[in-house]
Chain A
Amino acid sequence: MTVHSIRFQIILWHVIVLSLTFIVFGAVLYHTVSRRLNSDLDALLLSKAAGIRDAIDSAWDGEKKDAAEAGIETNNKTKSQNVRFAKTVKQWTSDASHESLLSSIDVGIFDSGGRLIASSARTPGAVLIPATLNRLDFNPQGEFANSSASLSPRTKIPLRALTVPVEENDRLAYLIQVISPLTSLRSFLRHLKVMLLFLFPFVIMSSGLAGAFLAKVVLTPVDKMIETIHRISAENLRLRVKVPDSDDELESLAETFNGMLDRLEQSFSSQRQFIEDLTHELKTPLSVLKGELEVTLKKLRSAQDYEAILHSSLDEVNRIIQISENLLLLASFDSDTMSIERSPLDLAELLPEILAEIKILAQQKDIDLRLASRETAVVQGDRAKLRQLFLNVLDNAVKYTPPEGTVTVDVSRAPGYAKVTVADTGKGIPEAVLPRIFDRFFRVERNNSQVGFGLGLPIAMAIAKAHQGRIEVRSTLDEGSTFTVWLPLSGGQAALSSPGS
């Protein structure tokens, strides 16, 4: 697995995305919980402070009442700087230290001068002396502060303190300070943080594993495909990739790949067939030449023998020349180096000329060669090439039609195309070999001295294609074959021709 492999990238991205998600989630969670806990604590401190103020007020009211009943003159009725008030507060503090109001918190009461009147502090040094009591802008709702108290020189307890001023007649009467240790809150947050950090590598690991699994699920068919493709070579083109029935991109990839293999295999096999045929076609006349000459040279022969052998050799040399020329012609069509000199050409005039040429061949076999109908059909074409096209098609028809048969030629216009049909009454072409008749060197029957090299129809097809046309063939066994040549009509004619014509 390399850094660039899809498998690695899937895993990597999976880990990155999941880790980032987890980090954001963890941070938001931690922050929210922390804020919520702190604000809950502050709300608790505020409500405790209010409760303590009410409790002190009612205790002071009770004290004043008791004093009035006892007849004690309380000339000083204000709470501020009042010794009796301080005493009352001290008394209340010690009485209430076990009540629920003061559970889990400490309280300190200061007079308006900032002196500590009373304290329930179980934690030494917990109570803070408000440093800026004389400030005019002391928040009437109370002020929060964080501090810490030392239990010992080594241990410090974090504290949260709320100092609330209590007023009387618009003047500061005393201060209530409510203190809560932050130990449990902090330790809860610390636990949360540790848990999140501890989970992080686990998240990375599990997301990596999940990514690997995902990559495996996604890539297994791809791996299988690669394995099959590895085994495919020019000699082994019959192998196909297994198409998964998954209706997804992989299925379409496999189908596309197999389609490409089909075309490759076909082209390889037709190439192989072509080379085999070419070998046969060229080596046979060469073998005849070499063999005949060698046998002749074995001893002295008569002049007639030499003449016969020279004639025979000349025939073979001509055969080789013809095959080479035809092949070179086909090769020039294949490589698009064939120059087509186009000029307007009426097929209705060209065909009678060609028929006249073929007539000699047809007469030898008593074949009735006729031009049944002709309609003006002008194409942009190379006269010499088109002559060859029709000569080849007609020659083929005459060759495969038994004596006293008929070859009928018909020139007409179809929408956009000139259409020339050549129908014979030959023995027809078996359906199995019909797709092959335009293959080079293909002959329906080889063992017939009449047949040529099997290059006539391929050349005709190549010429038709070079003119943006085509040749179609229909055949019925024992009844005959019909070749239809389609060539595009030249501009003006194409517009003139109606679908019915």
Chain B
Amino acid sequence: MRVLIIEDEDKIASFIKRGLKEEGYSVDIARDGEEGYFLATTQEYDLIILDLMLPKMDGLSLCRKLRQEKKTAPILILTVRDSTKDKVTGLDSGADDYLTKPFAFEELIARCRALLRKRDGQATTKLQVADLEIDLVGHKVSRAGQEVILTPKEFALLEYLMRNEGIVVTRTMISEHVWDIHFDTFTNIIDVYISYLRNKIDAGHRKPLIHTLRGKGYLLKDSKD
């Protein structure tokens, strides 16, 4: 999942980035409102974490502007303003959630998960395809009841494939949602990670779940033949 943090306080942005990365998210940072607007409108993000007091363009205006332009990515406002009035204004400006600083990092992560779940119309924190199960909170993966150990990047890639079960995802889509803005699209790193995943998920099982469609991309589905 790809997250955009719009925050002018360097240290806050960087520890959130670090924490989210360790959870398998890919993260971009914008340091002012205008940069944030540029990134949010030119890149695909699954979630935007937005500060309110920003140089150049304040968070509320940015939020309204994104909603006017039909950008539907969930927006979580993260600010020191803690009055009810501020919360109401923030949520009414098109934000999906509101968290005040200082905050518990676990809560931020949980809220991010909840927002993504809501976006996907999904009620639980677990995803399942055939006998493959992943737990989004505990980051646990199991195939046919046997636990599979994945690196954060592998987990993020698998999560993205499972969220898009039965849909062909292109390399571009994968790069946009699993890797951050610094990803070099000319490398074959995605193919490398897909082969890692195949080794851990499909190897030793009769029915493969990850399929390659030449010239198109990848597809994760329960092949019933």
Contacts and interface: CB of A to CB of B under 8 A. Distances in A.
B81 A287 contact: no
Interface stretch (A201-209, A236-244, A293-301): A293-301
A276 interface: yes
Interface stretch (A75-83, A278-286, A376-384): A278-286
B32 A290 contact: no
Nearest to B14: A292
Given A276-B81, A447-B31, A295 B104 contact: no
Contacts of A287: 9, 12, 80, 101-103
B55 A284 contact: no
A295 B101 contact: no
B22 A291 contact: no
Contact of A284 (B12, B22, B103): B12
Contacts of B32: 447
Given A284-B80, A446-B8, A447-B8, A290 B22 contact: no
B175 to A, nearest CB: 26
B18 A286 contact: no
A289 B104 CA distance: 11
Interface in B1-34: 8-12, 15-16, 18-19, 22, 31-32
A427 to B, nearest CB: 16
B81 A288 contact: no
A312 interface: yes
B105 interface: yes
Interface in A287-320: 287-292, 294-295, 298-299, 312, 316
B8 A291 contact: no
Given A286-B102, A446-B8, A291 B55 contact: no
A279 B31 CA distance: 21
A280 B58 CA distance: 15
Interface string B85-105: 000000000000000011111
B114 interface: no
A283 B11 contact: no
A291 B19 contact: yes
A276 B80 CA distance: 9
B12 A280 contact: no
What class of interface size applies to chain A in its complex with B? 20 to 34
A413 to B, nearest CB: 43
B217 to A, nearest CB: 33
A295 B80 contact: no
Interface string A313-357: 000100000000000000000000000000000000000000000
Contact of A291 (B81, B82, B102): B102
A295 B31 contact: no
A283 B82 CA distance: 11
A298 B19 contact: yes
B106 interface: yes
B80 A294 contact: no
A292 B102 CA distance: 11
B43 to A, nearest CB: 22
A279 B104 contact: no
Contact of B106 (A279, A294, A446): A294
Contacts of B169: none
A285 to B, nearest CB: 9
Contacts of A286: 101-102
27 contacts: A279-B80, A283-B80, A283-B101, A283-B102, A284-B101, A286-B101, A286-B102, A287-B101, A287-B102, A288-B12, A288-B15, A290-B105, A291-B15, A291-B16, A291-B102, A291-B105, A292-B11, A292-B15, A294-B19, A294-B104, A294-B106, A295-B19, A295-B22, A299-B22, A446-B8, A446-B53, A449-B10
**Top 7 closest A-B pairs, CB basis?**
A287-B101, A447-B55, A295-B19, A294-B105, A287-B102, A283-B80, A288-B11
Given A287-B80, A446-B8, 15 more contacts: A283-B101, A284-B80, A287-B9, A287-B102, A287-B103, A288-B15, A290-B105, A291-B16, A291-B102, A292-B15, A294-B104, A312-B11, A445-B55, A447-B31, A447-B32
Interface of B: 8-12, 15-16, 18-19, 22, 31-32, 53, 55, 80-82, 101-106
